[in-house]
Structure 1
Amino acid sequence: MAEKTSELETALAEAASPSWSRRVRAGRGLASFVDVPEAAEALAGLLLDAEDTAVTRQTAEALARVGTVAAVRLVARAVAEADDNHADWLQTGVRDAVAGPDSVPDLEAVCGQLVRDPEEAVRRGAAEISAWADDAQG
């Protein structure tokens, strides 16, 4: 348990780093802690990283690979809030997860749950992600 706590603390610290590569590492590391409020808050910031879209792309891919409702909900909210540039990189990250050689959870099924979310932004973002996942699969 102490190892997981240390891993979370390290990733949270890296999320605020001026180094884009450390923020990318944070996005990947925090994805498995999406149910922890502090991690979710940091991930939301990394998805819309103001400094480097590589952070956006890698964080979106990591969360799509986790594929839980909580993980995809964060991406959906970011999609709804993103400018065109960030939306392109969020889409690329999701497509990387879906079209890659490693299998990922069924994002379309998770998005199907999220299109009934009480938050309108999440519903819109989930519809976009579902379309991206469908396009990426063929």
Structure 2
Amino acid sequence: MMSGLEAALAEASSPSWTQRVRAGRDLAFFADVPEAAEALVGLLLDVEDTAVTRQTAEALARVGTMAAVRLIALAVAEADDNQADWLQTGVHDAFVGADVVPDVAAACGKLARDPEEVVRRAAAEISAWADDTRR
């Protein structure tokens, strides 16, 4: 029998966008696991369906850990303008109707000291998105 992580990893490469969305949600809790992180960045930059990008970004922002937000930052650094818009929308969605507001800004603050410049720059952008949402 497959573990939750193994099942989600298998769904991440599914031809079905709904299964990829589910994989993004399920894998968000494993953002610090290298295999999951790689799959999550792929889902954030999904070229076939923007719903996968948006909902994976939302799931990671809701988790709100430094590892989860770092994956969004890595995707932002690689995203084209359209993907970046959907990543931003996903981050915004994490704040809408949330009983517990994710502390994306705190994770971005920690990522401001990340060794990779592209992560630092993207984290600053994500922090601005989070600030816009709270206004």
TM-score range, shorter chain: over 0.9
Q: Distance in 1 between matches of 2:82 and 2:131?
A: 21
Once the 2 structures are TM-superposed, how far is the Cα of residue 92 of structure 1 from its aligned partner?
0.2
- Percent identity reads 77
Q: What residue in structure 1 maps to residue 10 of structure 2?
A: 13
Q: Distance in 1 between matches of 2:22 and 2:130?
A: 24
Q: What residue in structure 1 maps to residue 100 of structure 2?
A: 103
Where does 1:57-96 land on structure 2 (aligned, <5 Å)?
Answer: 57-96=54-93
Q: Which amino acid aligns with 2:26?
A: G
Q: Give RMSD over aligned pairs.
A: 1.2
Q: 89, 110, 114: which is aligned to 2:111? A: 114
**TM-score under structure 2 normalisation?**
0.96
Gaps of 5+ in 1: none
Gaps of 5+ in 2: none
Q: How many residues are paired up?
A: 135
TM superposition outliers: structure 1 runs of 4+ over 4 Å: none
> Residue 64 of structure 1 contacts residue 104 of structure 1 at CA under 8 Å; is this kept in 2?
no
Give a deviation string over 1:40-98, Cα, whole Å, max 9, x none.
11001000001001000000000001101100000011111100000000000000112
> Residue 67 of structure 1 contacts residue 104 of structure 1 at CA under 8 Å; is this kept in 2?
no
**TM-score under structure 1 normalisation?**
0.94
